[in-house]
Structure 1
């Protein structure tokens, strides 16, 4: 954690211990861990975090660049699969799974690496590896339809494996480059960046793929990783903690590090309960598959599936952008209100997708996707802020890797099931969308119950000191 103070040479960012503000502290300006009241939080905080925290700005721009390419990649790969005659729901579902499942598989190792070695180096290497595997996809048409599809899917899996190492390192680094009072703004800005790049990437990617072809879209994706490296190279982060030489196979393999993180979570049930948020939202992870199929089969706008998919993806991105802006103005950045807002956001998303399943008008369907992802982004941002404030820096990479791994495992599992249900069992898109809404309702109940139980049986004072 850092605190930034102005000086004649610019912001002076000094390491401090992470601190989770109490209810009293959050209401008294000038105290450690102060959180601004909702009426004063807004765009000014976004400006502060970008202007006063130069290393966060570099982290932000690096993510901005690579995310733009990521969405070009998805649409380009879908077009490539169509060109090779593999655009059925099973193949699309498998592609979506391979864009997720490697994160769950690599999660334990990624968390250990993020806490053991330079997080900056991890992000740079991951970008260069992703650059290489995107280039490999250009060879797919030369191998024939079946072998080419295998190459695309394998390259996708390895690309996402590299990303699985980058994302915990990035999330764990944010509290090192942003003062505690701006963590909420930094994570909201990160969600807005994701959504803006999702919207622009889906929109521009759809246009580029339709007009110029998948090769140009993939080239833009590859270039985005090199642009990200340019920004990360200039990033200044604290060095990894000094460690004594590993003793025994458990320390050499990182299993001891994993055990340490699990022990921390066992002794911190209120923190462990926060790990339910993103996996709970992951139960709606089949929405990427469903929106793709809706764009192709239900709303092929202007007679083109690419345009229908792009519009629905843009609606999803717009909702993700609006969520943090709206909810940060309405919800105090205290543990209780943030937790309750996450539960309410599950219910909002469930209601929106239940309505989406029955409407016929494209404009209304787009509006409901926006509304659902206002809830989804609130879940993501608020749970991230709570974890960043609670978890000590030496464990943060492993905890975030565990959280992201659980989320991607949930998304991968439901995507596989939904793909099989639609193509294998003949269940329609609309009934499966109602099922998705129901799973979000279950997630809301589980989240609310877990928070109530841990507040009752694990009071704040019982949490391990960070």
Structure 2
């Protein structure tokens, strides 16, 4: 895994990701403090609305943004998105009204909805070997988990010397650093593809995604992971401070246990996936998450048990979600990968758009155990749906027929309308065969 850090292209892209994530982590802390300055005790409501705007931008705008930049060179797209994000962060210290926070978050997250899928779809072209790509996914997962651990600590250290407005400067430096690293990297060109009208570019990723059984299964498993993850992210502070009487430091420690479990999954997955494949590993992670939520609906954990349960939840969460890039890579031609990654970006965040408010509102109305029971049922729906939608074995070579193509079509071999090959939804394959 670690040898990829010296890869001439991936190494710089990974460094850009780490730098940008660090800036984003500082932004999260500073934004909370800014909201408290402007809204006082209503800061939670302000942040909740801001994060809802973030999810709406991700779900509603990422397909549109992806279609608009689909034929543009990758490097200018990535650099431009970083510069927009840096410009928004630069404006945040000058905000004086709550509506300005909402507008800034909308613009920033729209730029992120362009940057993230484009960045993710570039990595498979940089690392065509599947084992290298799997290791890259694990490194990316580690980067996200380390950001969750390190950025709050770094913010706390910086706040000893500067006001929270200075943290926005760190965010600006993170995005500019990311843009500079990408600018200094030679990226593979977008693979040649058919010129398509805007409407086709807008819907192509969703069409490919929803027509591919393994990706429909991935969406169902994402729902399970979002159910468990939403409870941890939204309600850890309530569980630790109110139910267990813990301190603010204990809240951070519980979240760190969740992050540690996810990191352990990332470290173990490359070898595990090589031995067993994606479906058993991801289904196992989702079953673990559902079982943990269901068990906690009947058991009230003490402090040490909570840390253990949060670490196991992080393990199941990382096991379920980290391999998703492998499925997306396998399910689209190079020219269509940005559209498919964008579809995953939008659809996965639609799951979070459901589970975030569900976890928060149910906790307020019914308490922790009832909330975990509700989320366990939702997670179970995801597991059952994935089991039915994602075929056991998930064969790469799929027999199928082309009754609609003439015998002299270039796709047909020796004029045979029935053949078998690695199947991907594209212009010659509009549907997944169900009967060979």
Q: Identify the TM-score tier after normalising by the shorter chain.
A: 0.7 to 0.9
Root mean square deviation of aligned Cα: 3.0
TM alignment of 1:59-70, pairs within 5 A: 59-70=13-24
Q: 1:237 aligns with which of 166, 183, 187?
A: 187
2:343 corresponds to 1:402: yes
In structure 2, the partner of 1:122 is: 77
After superposition, what is the alpha-carbon deviation per residue over 1:271-309, rounded to whole angstroms, capped at 9, x for unaligned?
45444333442334533222344456456754xx4x344
Cα 1:64/1:58, change in 2 over 3 Å: same
Q: Secondary structure at the match of 2:201?
A: helix
- 1:206-225 correspondence runs (5 A): 206-209=156-159, 212-225=162-175
1:168 aligned to 2:112? no
Contact persistence 1:97–1:412 (CA under 8 A): yes
Contact 2:258 2:311 in 1 (8 A): yes
Match in the other structure for 2:430: none
Which of 366, 369, 373 is 1:434 aligned to? 373
- Cα distance in structure 2, aligned partners of 1:178 and 1:315: 31
Aligned partner of residue 332 in structure 1, secondary structure: helix
What are structure 2's unaligned runs of at least 5 residues? 401-422, 427-436
Residue 111 (structure 1) aligned with residue 66 (structure 2): yes
| 1:464 equivalenced with 2:424 (yes/no) | yes
Partners of 1:69 and 1:167 lie apart in 2 by 15
Question: TM-score under structure 2 normalisation?
Answer: 0.81
Counterparts of 1:86-105 in structure 2 under 5 Å?
A: 86-87=41-42, 90-105=45-60
Going from structure 1 to structure 2, the CA distance change for 1:362 and 1:176 (only over 3 Å counts) comes to same
Structure 1: gaps (5+ residues): 1-45
Distance 1:309 1:162 in 2: 31
Q: 1:87 to 1:286 in 2, by over 3 A?
A: farther
Distance in 2 (CA, whole Å) between partners of 1:76 and 1:300 is 26
Please tell me whether residue 328 in structure 1 is matched to residue 328 in structure 2.
Answer: no
Distance 2:63 2:286 in 1: 27
Give the number of equivalent residue pairs.
400
SS of 2:116's equivalent in the other structure is helix
What is the aligned counterpart of 2:291 among 341, 346, 351?
Answer: 351
Match of 1:80 among 13, 22, 34: 34
- State the partner residue of 2:178: 228
Measured in 1, the distance between the counterparts of 2:102 and 2:221 equals 29
Which shifted more, 399-408 or 99-108? 99-108
1:460 match: secondary structure: strand
For 1:186 and 1:113, the matched residues in 2 are separated by 28
Q: For residue 314 of structure 1, what is the aligned residue in structure 2?
A: 256
Deviation digits for residues 85-107 of structure 1 (CA, Å, limit 9, x no counterpart): 14465444323323333111112
CA contact (8 A) 1:89 1:293 kept: no
The one-character-per-residue Cα deviations of 1:167-216 (angstroms, maximum 9, x if unpaired) are 11111001111131311111111111111112111333355458754323
Q: Is the 8 A contact 2:85 2:111 kept in 1?
A: yes
Q: 1:341 aligns with which of 281, 295, 307?
A: 281
Instruction: Name 1:289's counterpart in structure 2.
Output: 234
Distance 1:76 1:311, change over 3 A: farther
Q: Secondary structure at the match of 2:70?
A: helix
Q: How far, CA to CA, are the matches of 2:251 and 2:29 in structure 1?
A: 9
Partner of 1:185: 135
Residue 277 and residue 398 in structure 1: after superposition, are their counterparts in 2 closer, same or farther (change >3 A)? Answer: farther
